[in-house]
Chain A
Amino acid sequence: MAGPNQAGLCMDAVVLDGVTKRFDSLTAVAGLNLRIRQGSFFGLLGPNGAGKTTTLRMILRILLPDEGSIQILGQPLGETTQDRLGYLPEERGLYPRMTVQAVLVFLGALKGLDEAEAGRRAAGWLERLEIGDWGPRKVNELSKGMQQKVQFIAAILHEPPVLVLDEPFMGLDPVNAGVVKDIMLELRDHGATIVLSTHRMEQVEMMCDSICLIDRGRQVLSGDLREIKRAYGRNTVRIEYAAGRDSFDLDRFAASVNRFGSTVEAKLRPDVEPGEILKAIVEQGVSIVRFELIEPPLADIFIEKVTGNHA
């Protein structure tokens, strides 16, 4: 195992080893193994109640695992590991009657920052997120979206090497979501490891380089996102066609079909070649605008894995 001295080579930012957490009769997380590479953008996925938040809370040392061990940057959980993590919980909240600046300084100080430094950084980030004038105002005067941004700042203020974000885009409009996404990528480029938990598959597809899919506390799928998709094969076709034709028959070739207006995504049956489906559609008299072979959308893999797991 790489020690802290060899940091930067190929040390894992977060390692979970056989981690189990039970609440009475419910096993929220069961023997989970996880390796999150340093500097990666990691997505923790799973249906509601899969154990995502419990897993994140254990990484943050908010909950302690019943079994197994967790290491952050090569160190077992402790006060130092807590200070090297930044956390944006799904349950958002700030002290409503404190000023924005005071809350940020308080939370920064709790992460070990010097207060003057925390104040300077807070002012800078507020400016960057276009709420620079709101520092001296009380938190309860802010709109929900603004509070969201303040909370995001609180998570990154101490420049943590590992940033844990639970549904970071929840409640943000597209413009602000874009700003937050840019900051996340920027932090990653500066060497931070980002752990993201979300339901939004398109965000994961855009940003994450590796994922872990958990269901009922167990790992269902994990690894490099591109490799996972490749393993699923290029067996999905996307067909864009001229308006006018509402439907045409694909059932003979497709295992599943997704229709979006004048676009159709179809997952092919194992024995079907893409050429066959193209030929069949043309024969049905559909005028095709575009025909391409695509990687399966993550959402499909997600649904297939989770429903398969429940069957």
Chain B
Amino acid sequence: MRKLWIVIRREYMVRVRTRTFVLSTVGLPLLLVAAFLIPAYVASRHTGHTSRIAIVDEVGGMAPAVEQGLARVKLPNRAVQFDVVSTIDRPADPGHVLGQLREQVRRGELDGYLVLPRDVLTDPKAEYYTRNPGDFSLTDDIGTAITNAAIGGRLTRQNLRVSDMEALLRLVKVNVVKISREGGETVERGQTFQAVVFLAVILYTSLLMYGVATMRSILEEKSTRIMEILLSSVRPFQLLAGKILGVGAVGFTQFLIWGIAAAGVFGYGAAMSPTLGSNDGFHLHFPGILWMWFAIYFLGGYFLYASLYAAVGAATSNEQDANQIQMPITILLVLCFTMFPVLVRNPGSNTSILLTMIPFFSPILMVLRIALETPPLWQILASVALLILATVAVVYVSAKIYRVGVLMYGKRPSVVELVRWLRYS
């Protein structure tokens, strides 16, 4: 046990002191936060100002109703989205007026102008001229305003008077409410999906990162030929276990740092959110039990994948060979992502249940399934049991390959040779 501890400590200290560790610890969350925040930030900048527009009303008398509708559209900062600078009612010389407006838009005096054609009530098509046609949300708002005005116009023609079109046409909004197995209810605003993506990315990245780190570490000991000295003092299994535990401890440290930082950031964010006046931004909703399963599956998945990568490191003697042989393992991890839609669409289907039972997938997929829709406890326990069984088996096989492989240099072994290695004592 003492020797195991010495090996673990060296693995840990050597890694934690490197620049790579510091960079990945600081860099990865920044990257992740950036990936979530930059699009939101850019989107919020995009609609961040009031558009000054003109309305050309060829119908006559319709512009005020449209203007009224547009006035209800607000920016996130509560200012109006549209400022109707002028309305031209039934222009005598439409060509001239439109030419003038176009010139104003070009000069930047207007953001755009809206043309309501004479037959808009019968042939519901209007045109919005702007320098920046990419903003679809603006078009939607304009469309809604004109539609409401047009409905009012059509009703008026049939001698029906409507004072508040908006109130009449209010759309029904469907809230999705998640019922958890414990019976609690939470209003779903996309948090579950965000949480699931977030968890999957973290699990995938860390399984890959630490798995490959274990493989590299073994390769280094082989290529520097220090392996033989180590083996004259330590059992191969102690060395393998020390390596996996040491690298795992580095991963744990990293998660701890991230966890503390995230708690700080979200705590600060929660404290600040009333003043920001928005709760639609980056929002995670993880129940405590999910964290527990996350931890269990991370540990199981880590030991499983780290042993697989360790076997690759032990069986090969250079980086190129190792990269080739490790491909199937990395593909297993990538497969988890491709099966993601199956789970999201129907977390309780037989396919989903099967997928979350396979030990190579369950570390990522079962956590997702739990986040989406808590499965029956027996399914979780069965998948954990299978994961543990598979991990024990893989560790056993890896240790055998490791025992023989670490002293083999040169040619990459074939599958037949690998099987033969398993029989050596």
Contacts and interface: CB of A to CB of B under 8 A. Distances in A.
B425 A89 contact: no
A66 interface: yes
B233 A89 contact: no
A241 interface: no
Given A98-B14, A106-B6, A110-B3, A83 B233 contact: yes
A111 B233 contact: yes
Contacts of B221: 95
Contacts of B233: 82-83, 107, 110-111
Interface stretch (B49-57, B173-181, B224-232, B243-251): B224-232
A137 to B, nearest CB: 16
Interface of A: 24, 57, 60-64, 66, 79, 82-83, 85, 87, 89, 91-98, 106-107, 109-112, 151, 154
A98 to B, nearest CB: 7
6 contacts: A60-B231, A61-B232, A87-B232, A91-B225, A93-B225, A96-B224
B232 A91 contact: no
Interface in B224-280: 224-235
A109 B407 CA distance: 22
B285 interface: no
B232 A62 contact: yes
Task: Kindly list the 8 A-B residue pairs having the minimum CB-CB distance in the complex, ordered from nearest.
Answer: A93-B225, A110-B233, A93-B226, A89-B228, A87-B232, A91-B225, A93-B224, A60-B232
Interface string B295-328: 0000000000000000000000000000000000
Contact of A93 (B228, B235, B425): B228
A93 B229 contact: yes
B420 interface: yes
B232 A89 contact: yes
B161 interface: no
Contacts of B220: 95
B224 A95 contact: yes
Contact of A82 (B10, B227, B232, B420): B232
A24 B233 CA distance: 26
B238 to A, nearest CB: 10
A60 B231 CA distance: 8
Interface string B1-21: 011001100100010000000
Contacts, number: 59
A110 B230 contact: yes
A92 B225 contact: yes
A86 to B, nearest CB: 8
A106 B10 contact: yes
A89 B229 contact: yes
Place the interface of chain B in its size category.
20 to 34
B332 to A, nearest CB: 31
Given A87-B232, A95-B220, A107-B229, 4 more contacts: A62-B231, A93-B227, A94-B226, A154-B229
Interface string B397-425: 00000000001000000000000100001
A295 B230 CA distance: 42
Nearest to B239: A110
A18 B10 CA distance: 39
A110 B224 contact: no
A91 B228 contact: yes
B228 A95 contact: no
A97 B226 CA distance: 12
A50 B407 CA distance: 18
B218 to A, nearest CB: 13
Contacts of A110: 3, 6-7, 230, 233-234
A52 to B, nearest CB: 14
Nearest to B14: A98
A98 B15 CA distance: 11
A66 B425 contact: yes
B424 to A, nearest CB: 8
A57 B425 CA distance: 14
Contacts of A94: 224, 226
A96 B217 CA distance: 12
B420 A24 contact: yes
Given A24-B420, A62-B407, A110-B6, A95 B226 contact: yes
B240 to A, nearest CB: 14
A106 B229 CA distance: 11
A94 B229 CA distance: 9
Contacts of A112: 2
Contacts of A61: 232
Contacts of A63: 407
Nearest to A23: B424
Which of B227, B232, B420 counts the most A-chain CB atoms under 10 A from its CB?
Answer: B232
Nearest to A151: B229
B6 A109 contact: yes
A107 B228 CA distance: 12
A97 B232 CA distance: 21
A95 to B, nearest CB: 6
Contacts of B407: 57, 62-63
Contacts of A98: 14
Contacts of B232: 60-62, 82, 85, 87, 89
A24 to B, nearest CB: 7
A87 B229 contact: yes
A78 to B, nearest CB: 10
Nearest to A139: B224
B225 to A, nearest CB: 3
